Structure 1
């Protein structure tokens, strides 16, 4: 028995998860990479022109994402009322069903601040007509207080990037959200395997969405539009005070 205890205490702890291919990719791109404590995931930070962005991969923050989630965030100083949401069509249908059930069967009479913006906006904002985008209209849905803003956002480069993503990381319609909120841009999607090809594609998609959102904001010619303001927190990041 003494030997059993010796073997037990001599056992080495399991090594923390590592993502050598992702780390190598980040290094090639000149992007800082660090694991978060307890090996839950990693953080990559980059810049688009002079503006920083943050990428996190790890446990999901949304109940509609299973396994692992990739999320990106960027401070843009967009107009606070420029609120646009694009999401995968299956996810849109799912959230609409959940919202309907919550407010009918549960006899709930108002949307509380604990409800994610993705769900609240489906109730608050009108749907955007995506018929002009043949490759996208069956795979994505969108809502906004000003549908013309979303159409201008998608026009050209962003629509092209989304089409590329549908042949790659978004091929099987995983939960996917792309939105502008409180002056920021956000992307979140289910990503079980964070391989460099998927990361490269999604970073490119996000940066294109950012450039297009800035273009829309710069050419916004409808000063009379007043869009509803939401108050919940869309982003919670890892506690990476002890990065590895």
Structure 2
């Protein structure tokens, strides 16, 4: 919570300047366009027959300040595959906020105003994942079933998370990586995107996508791995803020 307060005191940094994002996309042969009266940038690119979408601009989440970078792609994963990885400090902050709402019995705000990542951290039991042990001080992971989560956190994804925590996430920036309704999402605070940050985010996202698809295959024959009780009956807060 203290980090959020410090970021808030620091104030906003004026109108978004997406030139660095556009230049990065152009150098890599990706499509990029300014949107919403130049208040954001949208980049799209291919991955294994799918199209990922990157957006940079005004945050969609209250726990992110100034500027946010978010990515999404429809991988056609099982709809009940609900897995979440967050930076450790953010997980603790969201858990505290969720607990406060629950204990104050603010049911309306819980149902309509709480994003999925906060609900999942409050609802899903903590799963001991051996692969996460080296990263436990930097990241937190939960899911509605342990089997898919264990399969998702393969060596390639763990390596990318470790690399991110030593590079573009070295200052413990708020970060969320999750699967929801068949899609893969990444979002994190990005005040001034650099080529190194964008390359790192895309590299992490690609590793997460590949391991999520592999996890689907690995547990496809395990009926118990896919719970039927789903929290996605609640309102989603993950649609794009920019037009398609």
**TM-score of the superposed pair, with normalisation by structure 2:** 0.86
Deviates most, 169-178 or 132-141? 132-141
**Match in the other structure for 1:13:** none
Q: 1:133: how far off?
A: 3.2
- Equivalences for 1:45-56 in 2 at 5 Å? 45-56=44-55
Shift of 1:128: 2.2
Q: Distance in 1 between matches of 2:207 and 2:48?
A: 12
Could you tell me how far 1:127 is from its partner in structure 2? 1.4
Q: Which residue of 1 aligns with 2:222?
A: 222
Residue 69 of structure 2 aligns to a residue in which SS? strand
Q: For 1:143 and 1:216, locate their aligned partners in 2 and report how far apart those are by CA, in whole Å.
A: 15
> Would you say the 8 A contact 1:158–1:212 is kept in 2?
yes
CA distance in 2, matches of 1:227, 1:189: 30
Cα separation, 2, equivalents of 1:23 and 1:109: 42
Name the Cα RMSD after superposition: 1.9
**Does the Cα contact within 8 Å between 2:21 and 2:41 map onto a contact in 1?**
no
Three-state SS of the structure 2 residue aligned to 1:187 is strand
Which residue of 2 is the match for residue 108 of structure 1? Answer: 106
Instruction: Name the CA distance, whole Å, in 1 between partners of 2:68 and 2:148.
Output: 28
For 1:125, the equivalent position in structure 2 comes to 124
The 1-side partners of 2:97 and 2:42 are apart by 31
The 3-state SS of whatever aligns with 1:219 is helix
How far apart, in 2, do the equivalents of 1:17 and 1:143 lie?
33
For 1:101-140, what per-residue CA distance to the aligned partner results, in whole angstroms no more than 9, with x for missing partners?
Answer: 1111x22357414311011112221112245434311111
More helix by share: 2
Task: Name the count of aligned residue pairs.
Answer: 225
Runs of 4+ in 1 over 4 A off after TM superposition: none
Contact 2:145 2:227 in 1 (8 A): no
2:76 touches 2:182 (CA, 8 Å); kept in 1? yes
Q: Per-residue displacement from partner, 1:81-100 (whole Å, max 9, x unpaired)?
A: 11101111111111111111
Distance in 2 separating the partners of 1:36 and 1:218 = 37
State the alpha-carbon separation in 1 of the partners of residues 159 and 192 from structure 2: 24
**Please, what TM-score do these two structures have when normalized by structure 1?**
0.86
